[in-house]
Structure 1
């Protein structure tokens, strides 16, 4: 699907990290962007800076009504044909915590709700909207989801995050097959260690240690490298039903 001026994309988690980099890359290509996030301060600043082609919508990706409002904003621009779903959260949970207590069901449920149910909710609403488009060269739209290498090699304490990301990986081929008759493609990116606001909170020595654990290149991934991959997926019509590891060949250790 050739990205053209006047097309519209929704980017969830769109005001920081991977989502922000992708939103900016789409703006550079002349697309309209609906940036969906919960951070109103950053969202308002981004909308002011890119007034016109970018609209910020505050929404919880797992909430049907709130995400329907984001879809409506994209349809208002017209030619809504691209979804890049980056929104997600992490948080440590063990099956048995160090004090001997069972892991928090509430915390587990919330992480899975946002990461996995939020992905399903966003994808179903976006696909229903894209299905109304007239085909262009055999495509009505394309969707890029975000998993993680934790979906393959989750570390101790990552059980809710790894569960959700593994669910997204499993969702990908089924979604691509489901939406084939609608001429909508679905792929997933599974990033490794990326220099995002989450990692920015860690002490510098830990960041350096994480960067050194990546075989090649021996550094943290850059958000614009995720954006490059997302845009390539959108434009390459033979990429469908695939999860692409974007990780510098890292394989996560147990801890």
Structure 2
């Protein structure tokens, strides 16, 4: 799949993984539409236009997808939007809120599915390229999908759902020439982690077997770009974690 000249959607594009991916795709020649709930502080990037979009709102996503495909055929989607609040099932303040659990699943899993499905509908209408391919969708899970920690019941469940979605989505969309893969990052140095302070970041880095540091958003972007361009990787979940296997806490 050639990135240059294609339209691409990146969700969660105003910061972190999404911002790095939007920048990488734009640098490779894509026309990038960055979706985010809050685009007030989104970086100004050549080749990236932003739309304020709630990924859980079907109507808003459908409209934004159509806008993203106006200039050139839509062929690339990278879902980075997500939230990660923590709460124990039984904690000092009582039972985990069902509403909070549902909110995390709604944003991280249902939001991912909504963008995937509505974008796939638009991609399927494009002219096929080599081998009948029309596009590729990259979703974002987490190593918490496999080793969820204390307080991550909602988050791990939502990301486990994204992992479980990967293969059936790839199989469903194969007839339309659309590949689906998922990246499961470990601990990434996002703005949220930077705000925790040097000592906490050093402690987190010490737990990574190698390299002993946090992952960088641009490394996620490089992996996403690789998966987009590699036409024979399909239905896969790729861990990007420095061999980290999360302890209970």
Same fold (TM over 0.5): yes
Structure 1 residues 167-176 or 75-84, which shifts more? 75-84
1:134 aligned partner? 127
**Residues 69-94 of structure 1: per-residue CA shift (max 9 Å, x gap):** 22012111221100000000010121
Distance in 2 (CA, whole Å) between partners of 1:126 and 1:237 is 19
**Residues 146-173 of structure 1: per-residue CA shift (max 9 Å, x gap):** 0000000000001100000000000000
User: After the TM superposition, which residues 1-255 of structure 1 pair with which residues of structure 2 at under 5 Å, given as runs?
Assistant: 1-4=1-4, 6-43=5-42, 45-46=43-44, 49-50=45-46, 53-99=47-93, 101-137=94-130, 138-255=132-249
Structure 1 residues 64-73 or 115-124, which shifts more? 64-73
Distance in 1 (CA, whole Å) between partners of 2:80 and 2:134 is 21
Aligned residues: 248
Distance in 2 (CA, whole Å) between partners of 1:82 and 1:195 is 25
| TM-score, normalisation: structure 1 | 0.95
Distance in 2 (CA, whole Å) between partners of 1:35 and 1:12 is 6
Distance in 2 (CA, whole Å) between partners of 1:25 and 1:157 is 33
* Structure 1 residue ranges without an equivalent (≥5): none
Structure 1 residues 88-97 or 200-209, which shifts more? 200-209
TM-aligned CA deviation for residue 198 of structure 1: 2.1
**Residues 126-147 of structure 1: per-residue CA shift (max 9 Å, x gap):** 1000000111102100000000
Moved over 2 A (4+): none
**Residues 19-39 of structure 1: per-residue CA shift (max 9 Å, x gap):** 111111111111100000122
Secondary structure, counterpart of 1:41 in structure 2:
coil
| TM-score, normalisation: structure 2 | 0.97
Name the Cα RMSD after superposition: 1.0
Distance in 2 (CA, whole Å) between partners of 1:160 and 1:229 is 26
Distance in 2 (CA, whole Å) between partners of 1:223 and 1:103 is 31
Distance in 2 (CA, whole Å) between partners of 1:39 and 1:204 is 27
Secondary structure, counterpart of 1:57 in structure 2:
strand
* Structure 2 residue ranges without an equivalent (≥5): none
